[in-house]
Structure 1
Amino acid sequence: MFRSKGRSWKTLLITLVVVLALSVMAGCGKKTDNNVVATYAGGEITQKEFDDEQRMVLALQPMMAQFAEMDDFREYLVKQAITYEYLESKADDKMKEEGKKKADAQYTAMKEANGEDAVKQMLDAQKITEKEFQSYMTRIYTVMETQLKGITEDDVKKEFEASKEDYIIASVRHILIGFKDKEGKEVSKEDALKTAKEVKAKLDKGEDFAALVKQYSTDGQQNIDNGGLYADAHVNQWVPQFKEAAMTLPLNKISDPVETDYGYHIIRVESRTEKTLDKLTDEEKDALKMSIASQKLDEFMSGDLEKNIIKNITLPKIEKKKLETDPGSENSEKAGNDGAANQSGNSGNSSNSDQKGSNDTSGAEGGSNSSK
């Protein structure tokens, strides 16, 4: 029942999380390769700098390797590198000092969360030194400081109003009658709905919720053992139908069956808290400001950067590999078969893949399930 974390590469690179996790300082290391791949007002990006950036991306997010040979992805990375070099050059001493302070704190937190050995192995795998990585983080945080400048309380208020759901916390107990049973066998919608209505009727008669969870729920084992309770959880992490129920159901009322991609949920909201702006912590307000700064950075990249700053990008295109077409070869036969399959099925698959990316959700605790 938890929302999908799958997003497009462009969305990933625009968000602040990826600014911190995927971007690399374009100037780390010496400029030993004079092969310039981009020029802009005040500077240039060399092939060496671009290669360093890609290594950083792959060190921190190996999943991004699937995009490494996409020309538009590579061009976006070049533009991002230009953005960071250009905006860092505009930062004053106070911004640089604050950027370094935040970068040091973030790097310490990263090592504490993942372990120093794991962080070292991550960097070593792509031949990145700790000094280069720390310099990269300082650059990114310095750039964000340039975007934080000028953000007002009204800006923060508007951002909060647009994201109020992020601050609603609820304790929700539920029973999932899945479209797959506990043994993994398919269950029809009709049968799942029939069972869900039977479960609701039992709850309405006063039967014990936790006991019925153990008898009927096909959610993850941890949730079953916990009596079907998600305690003090942010509602925005749940799929839309479940989230809507968590936000709107009267407290302690048993819901009618709520359908999601996983099955039918019988839900009881036991508590719900909605924060107001004045109740936010300093950390939460800082997060709102960083979200605004990230949006400003995106606007800069799609606006002023494109129109007035970039002069030329000459990043070599990726050469597409050609299939062997020897009529007598196995590869030729496979290529022909694959081509026929693609021709008959491609039109539907391409559009569905994007939709699936936005709708898929990860499993419950331990990957065993569904209701998330």
Structure 2
Amino acid sequence: MSLNKPKTWKVLLVSLAAALSFSILSACSGKAENAEDTGTAVATYEGGTITAKEFELDQKIMKFLNPQQAQYLEIEAFREPVLKQEVAFEYLSGKASPEAKKEAEKEVDIEIEKMKKELGEGYESILKEQGITEAEIRAYMVRILTVYQDMMLKVTDEQVKTEFEATKGDFTVATLRHVLIGLTDASNKERSKEDALKLANEVKTKLEGGADFAATVKEYSDDTVSKETGGEYKDKNLGTFVEEEFKKTAQTLPLNKISDPVETSLGYHILKVESRTERTFDQLKAEEKEAIKSSLATKSLESFMEKELEGIVKSINLPKSSAAPEEQGGANNGAAATPAPTAAATQEAPAATAAAE
């Protein structure tokens, strides 16, 4: 169990889950009769089409790059939103600058070499088994990253500074300790919120009474990441914590004071902030400024998908999925509950931008 943001490929996998999910509930493939002919257009958009064969290939590549999300591509309710996302990348890549494409090609070369190294001798056989080629994977990734790089190039220095000021607290560096009383205990048994809060208050009382924090963490905490370090997160940017209430408390709690129980999706936390240093824009590292730019680029992409994509799409002609009715019913239930990933759960909607880390 971790409080930190999960690592992703170019951040897009996480943030695009929300952008993809916006149309999940209304997703319906009832418009199509059949598209057995792989040359049939399953999507028509302003300036182009995507054929059944092209969409099938894209899905194969998605499954290869992100096996943990392959299950979603078999679910009826996700197919139309995924196809629309593919339309977005086809459309935007066609309008991207040559500079963006050049940068994307450089980055894809690096990513493919990483894949080859990770998969070793099995690389070629895996591609053959999946029915895809390296050239097809490369073309897919270049398309996705061309869009992303184009968005990045449009972000100005002034926008980066403005975003920093708006999210300044995320760049505050703090050393803190916490005890997590989770909604499941160490033996993986469920714990009610009432029981968790009661135990959290007991822990708070002990700590206020002078109990050793590290010893208390080892006895009570359900945070497996920090348990062996006495609950300590040392010199962390507070923006690395995904739970808003946790982050807010860490930004405002007086130093060395024991907090009241702080409720998050993980359970209840008792915090003590040992040091906290606010930073100016000039004190940011180059990679931190780049991360802000990345965030702004991703927001621009999400905004396009939410506000402009529907106007680009002319028609969707997906065939009926072969999924069983009960699977489709389950998909609708799951779609309603699909969140952007958190530290506790990373059940993302399938994203065309995913790649192996």
Candidates 97, 102, 107, aligned match of 1:102: 107
- The alignment status of 1:91 with 2:74, answered yes or no, reads no
| One-letter amino acid of the counterpart of residue 300, structure 2 | K
User: What's the CA shift for 1:267?
Assistant: 2.0
Please say if residues 75 and 323 of structure 2, whose CA atoms lie closer than 8 Å, have aligned partners that are also in contact.
no
Partner of 1:51: 56
Partner of 2:318: 315
Distance (Å, rounded) in 2 between the aligned partners of 1:320 and 1:191: 41
Aligned counterparts, 1:193-204, within 5 A: 196-204=200-208
Aligned counterparts, 1:183-198, within 5 A: 183=187, 196-198=200-202
Aligned counterparts, 1:1-372, within 5 A: 2=3, 11-12=16-17, 14=19, 33-71=38-76, 73-109=78-114, 114-116=118-120, 123-178=127-182, 182-183=186-187, 196-214=200-218, 216-220=219-223, 223-236=226-239, 237-260=241-264, 262-307=266-311, 309-318=312-321, 321=324, 354=337, 361-362=344-345
SS of residue matched to 2:154: coil
The verdict on how the C-alpha distance between 1:208 and 1:134 changes in structure 2, with shifts beyond 3 A counting, is: same
User: What's the CA shift for 1:54?
Assistant: 0.9
Please say if residues 14 and 294 of structure 1, whose CA atoms lie closer than 8 Å, have aligned partners that are also in contact.
no
SS of residue matched to 1:361: coil
User: What's the CA shift for 1:2?
Assistant: 2.6
Distance (Å, rounded) in 2 between the aligned partners of 1:352 and 1:80: 16
User: What's the CA shift for 1:206?
Assistant: 3.8
Structure 2 unaligned residues grouped into runs of 5+: 7-12, 21-36, 347-357
Partner of 2:31: none
Please say if residues 261 and 270 of structure 2, whose CA atoms lie closer than 8 Å, have aligned partners that are also in contact.
yes
Distance (Å, rounded) in 2 between the aligned partners of 1:178 and 1:144: 37
Distance (Å, rounded) in 2 between the aligned partners of 1:93 and 1:359: 35
Structure 1 unaligned residues grouped into runs of 5+: 16-31, 324-341, 364-372
Distance (Å, rounded) in 1 between the aligned partners of 2:338 and 2:91: 36
The verdict on how the C-alpha distance between 1:149 and 1:172 changes in structure 2, with shifts beyond 3 A counting, is: closer
Kindly, what percent of the aligned residue pairs are identical? 43
The verdict on how the C-alpha distance between 1:2 and 1:119 changes in structure 2, with shifts beyond 3 A counting, is: farther
Which is bigger in relative contact order (C-alpha 8 A, separation at least 6)?
Answer: 2
The verdict on how the C-alpha distance between 1:219 and 1:305 changes in structure 2, with shifts beyond 3 A counting, is: closer
Distance (Å, rounded) in 2 between the aligned partners of 1:316 and 1:95: 34
The CA deviation string for residues 229-283 of structure 1, in whole angstroms up to 9 with x for no partner, is: 2223343424333323222112222223434455543321122233332222222
SS of residue matched to 2:93: helix
TM-score w.r.t. the length of structure 2 is 0.71
| One-letter amino acid of the counterpart of residue 107, structure 1 | I
TM-score w.r.t. the length of structure 1 is 0.68
The CA deviation string for residues 160-194 of structure 1, in whole angstroms up to 9 with x for no partner, is: 34443443343221234456554556667666656
Distance (Å, rounded) in 1 between the aligned partners of 2:247 and 2:337: 22
The verdict on how the C-alpha distance between 1:51 and 1:177 changes in structure 2, with shifts beyond 3 A counting, is: closer
The verdict on how the C-alpha distance between 1:267 and 1:120 changes in structure 2, with shifts beyond 3 A counting, is: farther
Please say if residues 223 and 230 of structure 1, whose CA atoms lie closer than 8 Å, have aligned partners that are also in contact.
yes
SS of residue matched to 2:226: helix
The verdict on how the C-alpha distance between 1:165 and 1:125 changes in structure 2, with shifts beyond 3 A counting, is: farther
> Once structures 1 and 2 are overlaid, which stretch shifts more, 176-185 or 152-161?
176-185
The verdict on how the C-alpha distance between 1:137 and 1:255 changes in structure 2, with shifts beyond 3 A counting, is: same
Distance (Å, rounded) in 1 between the aligned partners of 2:199 and 2:84: 54
User: Cα RMSD (Å) of the superposition?
Assistant: 4.1
Distance (Å, rounded) in 1 between the aligned partners of 2:272 and 2:123: 42
Distance (Å, rounded) in 1 between the aligned partners of 2:83 and 2:186: 49
The verdict on how the C-alpha distance between 1:72 and 1:165 changes in structure 2, with shifts beyond 3 A counting, is: farther
Please say if residues 74 and 323 of structure 2, whose CA atoms lie closer than 8 Å, have aligned partners that are also in contact.
no
Please tell me whether Structure 1 or Structure 2 has the larger radius of gyration of its CA atoms. Answer: 1
User: What's the CA shift for 1:55?
Assistant: 0.7
Distance (Å, rounded) in 1 between the aligned partners of 2:340 and 2:145: 30
Distance (Å, rounded) in 2 between the aligned partners of 1:109 and 1:161: 36
| One-letter amino acid of the counterpart of residue 310, structure 1 | V
| One-letter amino acid of the counterpart of residue 245, structure 1 | T
